[in-house]
A and B are shown apart, each in its own frame.
Chain A
Amino acid sequence: MQSLGSTRRSFAPWADPDAKPYIRFENVTKRFGDFIAVDDLSLTIYEREFFALLGASGCGKTTLLRMLAGFEHPTSGRVLLDGQDLRGVPPYRRPVNMMFQSYALFPHMDVASNIAFGLKQDGMQKGEIAERVAQMLKLVQLEPFAKRRPHQLSGGQRQRVALARSLAKRPKVLLLDEPLGALDKKLREETQFELMDLQHELGLTFIVVTHDQEEAMTMADRIAVMEKGRVMQVATPAEIYEAPASRFVAGFVGSINMFEGVLVKADGGAAEIRDRSGAPLLVGEAPAAAPGGTVWLAVRPEKMRVTRERPPEAANVLEGEIWDIAYLGDMTVYNVKLDDGRIIKASMMNSQRRLEDALTWHDRAWISFPADAGVLLTS
């Protein structure tokens, strides 16, 4: 569990106690009438970080982004950028730029004018503007489209124009509101990597709002999982996935099997719980709860094995019937119905092209997983 740091370029300022926070939300609350969009939220983001706000719609993630851009103002609390309190600073004086979910391209201007818009506002020299626009067009590979109007572009091209326009002023922080939401799956995946490269190349701080967990996992250094205006967990993608802090986070990111049980015994680096059906489950981790308390063991499907015979050495085994099979090519997901009616999801990599004696519907099967496969949760 110790090695679940950033998976990229050994960049982890959040682990460094001396690192200076770049953006800070301090006890920020935002109310719209009776509705609490953001609820006493505190969050720290570091320079050059690719940070994702992940959550379902209405969780407050876009409100958070808009507060940083200056379109919404906290009901209480402070937002700081590079040590400066942003209260009272209008959007047009903030060193941040936003890429809007709808792209918000100006329909009466061509691509080049859209990109040049912010530069003209800053009173930049004409020659310099032309140079920067050319540079931006090259960056997003839209050089042949400089004279086109937005309505003459495809969705992917529009997305690139929006990106180029928001990057043209070289903001300290780029805010991206569902930047890939309107693209189809294939284009989305390509663009994810392009955004990562771009962020790395330009050395900017990116804050992206998304409801797509895969997108957040792929791109972000850290993810804040949000619900009902609160941050449920802030961690690297690997930590979020492998060491979720709560049942909500575990269930929100990826699929998971949850075993509710009572903690029977906890000593040293291991614990035993008794689940609803009375079966003992062994966990290779000492929980924060005292024996007798209710705990949840969360196990990812890919950490489980499905076999026809009972594996002799497995720490945890459960018997059931193959209820459903989803063949996905790279792997197969089995839904196994335990004898007490619970459905357990287990996935197996298809590392061989052909499998003799493959499991099929209504076969009896054993699910097994080692003691360190799951996470013990207390909330």
Chain B
Amino acid sequence: MGRLFSALGSRLVIAVPYLWLFVFFLVPFFIVLKISLSQTAVAIPPYLPVFGLDEGFAGLVRNLRELSFENYLWLLGDPLYLNAYLSSLWIAAVSTILTLLIGYPIAHGMARAPLALRPVLLMLVILPFWTSFLIRVYAWIGILKPEGLLNQLLLFLGVIDQPLVIINTTTAIYIGIVYSYLPFMVLPLYATLEKMDYTLIEAAQDLGCTPIAAFWKITLPLSLPGVVAGSMLVFIPAVGEFVIPDLLGGSGTLMIGKTLWSEFFSNRDWPVSSAVAVILLLILVAPIVYFQRAQARARERA
């Protein structure tokens, strides 16, 4: 009897995360998928058909027949959406590379810092999370605007004589994304670099490597799992980023998150914006799967 309960108990424990994923991921996904196959309508909710059980099974079948891929065809037909997707991928990719270039030296420095100092440095990386993301992005407006802190400083130093136009450009988006996602790059990189055995570097130098050669041949290849993890953690959310392009990028920038928002809130076209979201998800499935594989491989090797 006790054994039966414990077997049941362990199944229940496993069931909790599955239930969580089912309720909060799978069900919402199918709702969005269904809406993306519906038609826009002036109604509440603003699409047709609305599934209900009041008409019974026959009604359900009739409603299913009404679903179509029309919204997807519409998306493919309008270059606006394609450009928004490509532009998002491009901005996310460039941001990821910039974050990697800035984050790697930071993580490397942290991993080689004296042992007593490392928790402090780690704290400093995490510290920005204590302030709301939205407030931090707003703060960048204050820094980057023509009469902002950065321009005032540069004018004061005499580096420039005209304020730089940074806000409402793609540059501002890059600055915002790199700033906001830097911890997601630094933390996994730090984790792999900190684990690395420093005697490997000594061995490489002993065998004739200069410190720089030892970095390229030993440190970098061994930190690749961290590079992949950090890059994915930056790239995946950056593709769908909405707040940063909306606040810092102005109206001229094209990113899919903004497109989705305006379809949803300005046009009240729920079906099209759902289709945008579903395609975005499909685009991101490839890197996510790659990321999962890389993680599994890293775990196997450890």
Name A residues whose Cβ lies closer than 8 Å to a Cβ of B: 69-71, 90-92, 96-98, 100, 102, 104-108, 117-118, 121-122, 151, 165-166, 169
The reply to whether the CB of B218 lies closer than 8 angstroms to some CB of chain A is yes
**A100/B208 in contact, CB under 8 A:** no
**B199/A100 in contact, CB under 8 A:** yes
**B210/A92 in contact, CB under 8 A:** yes
Q: Which B residues lie within 8 Å of A70 (CB)?
A: 205-206
**B213/A121 in contact, CB under 8 A:** yes
In whole angstroms, how far apart are the Cα atoms of A91 and B205 in the complex? Answer: 6
**B206/A91 in contact, CB under 8 A:** yes
The reply to whether the CB of B278 lies closer than 8 angstroms to some CB of chain A is no
Chain A residue, CB-CB nearest to B198: A104
**B197/A92 in contact, CB under 8 A:** no
Q: Which A residues lie within 8 Å of B208 (CB)?
A: 92, 118, 121-122, 169
In whole angstroms, how far apart are the Cα atoms of A70 and B208 in the complex? Answer: 12
In whole angstroms, how far apart are the Cα atoms of A91 and B199 in the complex? Answer: 13
27 A-B residue pairs with Cβ-Cβ distance under 8 Å, sorted by A, are A69-B202, A71-B205, A90-B210, A92-B206, A92-B207, A92-B208, A92-B209, A92-B210, A96-B206, A97-B206, A98-B206, A100-B199, A102-B199, A104-B199, A104-B200, A104-B202, A105-B203, A106-B203, A107-B222, A107-B301, A108-B221, A118-B207, A121-B208, A121-B209, A121-B213, A165-B207, A169-B207
In whole angstroms, how far apart are the Cα atoms of A165 and B204 in the complex? Answer: 11
**B202/A91 in contact, CB under 8 A:** yes
Q: Which A residues lie within 8 Å of B207 (CB)?
A: 92, 97, 117-118, 121, 165, 169
Q: Mark contacts of B200-230 with chain A using CB atoms, 8 A cut-off: 1 yes-contact digit, 0 otherwise.
A: 1011111111100100011001100000000
Q: Which A residues lie within 8 Å of B202 (CB)?
A: 69, 71, 91, 98, 100, 104
In whole angstroms, how far apart are the Cα atoms of A71 and B200 in the complex? Answer: 13
Q: Which B residues lie within 8 Å of A108 (CB)?
A: 221-222
Chain A residue, CB-CB nearest to B214: A92
Chain B residue, CB-CB nearest to A71: B202
What's the minimum C-beta distance from B270 to chain A, rounded to whole angstroms?
Answer: 50
Name B residues whose Cβ lies closer than 8 Å to a Cβ of A: 197, 199-200, 202-210, 213, 217-218, 221-222, 301
Q: Which A residues lie within 8 Å of B218 (CB)?
A: 106
What's the minimum C-beta distance from B219 to chain A, rounded to whole angstroms?
Answer: 11
In whole angstroms, how far apart are the Cα atoms of A96 and B205 in the complex? Answer: 11
Q: Which A residues lie within 8 Å of B301 (CB)?
A: 107, 151
Chain A residue, CB-CB nearest to B196: A107
Among B205, B206, B217, find the residue whose CB has the most chain A CB atoms closer than 10 A: B206
Chain B residue, CB-CB nearest to A117: B207
**B205/A92 in contact, CB under 8 A:** yes
Q: Which A residues lie within 8 Å of B209 (CB)?
A: 92, 121
Among A70, A92, A100, A102, find the residue whose CB has the most chain B CB atoms closer than 10 A: A92
Chain B residue, CB-CB nearest to A177: B199
Among A91, A107, A166, find the residue whose CB has the most chain B CB atoms closer than 10 A: A91
**B199/A117 in contact, CB under 8 A:** no
In whole angstroms, how far apart are the Cα atoms of A97 and B209 in the complex? Answer: 12
Chain B residue, CB-CB nearest to A122: B208
**B221/A100 in contact, CB under 8 A:** no
Among B197, B207, B210, find the residue whose CB has the most chain A CB atoms closer than 10 A: B207
**B221/A90 in contact, CB under 8 A:** no
What's the minimum C-beta distance from A166 to chain B, rounded to whole angstroms?
Answer: 8
The 3 closest A-B pairs by CB, nearest first: A118-B207, A121-B208, A104-B203
**B205/A90 in contact, CB under 8 A:** yes
Q: Which B residues lie within 8 Å of A106 (CB)?
A: 200, 203-204, 218
Q: Which B residues lie within 8 Å of A165 (CB)?
A: 207
What's the minimum C-beta distance from A141 to chain B, rounded to whole angstroms?
Answer: 22
In whole angstroms, how far apart are the Cα atoms of A102 and B200 in the complex? Answer: 9
In whole angstroms, how far apart are the Cα atoms of A212 and B209 in the complex? Answer: 32
Among A70, A104, A105, A166, find the residue whose CB has the most chain B CB atoms closer than 10 A: A104
In whole angstroms, how far apart are the Cα atoms of A97 and B199 in the complex? Answer: 13
Q: Which B residues lie within 8 Å of A121 (CB)?
A: 207-209, 213
Other than A91-B202, A106-B200, A108-B221, give 5 A-B pairs with Cβ distance below 8 A. Answer: A97-B206, A104-B200, A106-B204, A107-B222, A165-B207
**A102/B197 in contact, CB under 8 A:** yes
In whole angstroms, how far apart are the Cα atoms of A118 and B218 in the complex? Answer: 13
Q: Which A residues lie within 8 Å of B221 (CB)?
A: 108
What's the minimum C-beta distance from B300 to chain A, rounded to whole angstroms?
Answer: 11
**B204/A117 in contact, CB under 8 A:** yes
**B210/A104 in contact, CB under 8 A:** no
Q: Which B residues lie within 8 Å of A166 (CB)?
A: 206
Known: A92-B210, A108-B221. Is A100-B203 also a contact (CB below 8 A)?
Answer: yes
In whole angstroms, how far apart are the Cα atoms of A166 and B203 in the complex? Answer: 9
Chain B residue, CB-CB nearest to A118: B207
In whole angstroms, how far apart are the Cα atoms of A100 and B204 in the complex? Answer: 11
Chain A residue, CB-CB nearest to B224: A108
Chain A residue, CB-CB nearest to B222: A108
**A104/B205 in contact, CB under 8 A:** no
What's the minimum C-beta distance from B279 to chain A, rounded to whole angstroms?
Answer: 37
In whole angstroms, how far apart are the Cα atoms of A166 and B207 in the complex? Answer: 8
What's the minimum C-beta distance from A305 to chain B, rounded to whole angstroms?
Answer: 50
Q: Which A residues lie within 8 Å of B210 (CB)?
A: 90, 92
In whole angstroms, how far apart are the Cα atoms of A165 and B209 in the complex? Answer: 14
What's the minimum C-beta distance from B227 to chain A, rounded to whole angstroms?
Answer: 13
Among B199, B203, B204, B222, find the residue whose CB has the most chain A CB atoms closer than 10 A: B203
Q: Which B residues lie within 8 Å of A90 (CB)?
A: 205, 210
Chain A residue, CB-CB nearest to B200: A104
What's the minimum C-beta distance from A115 to chain B, rounded to whole angstroms?
Answer: 10
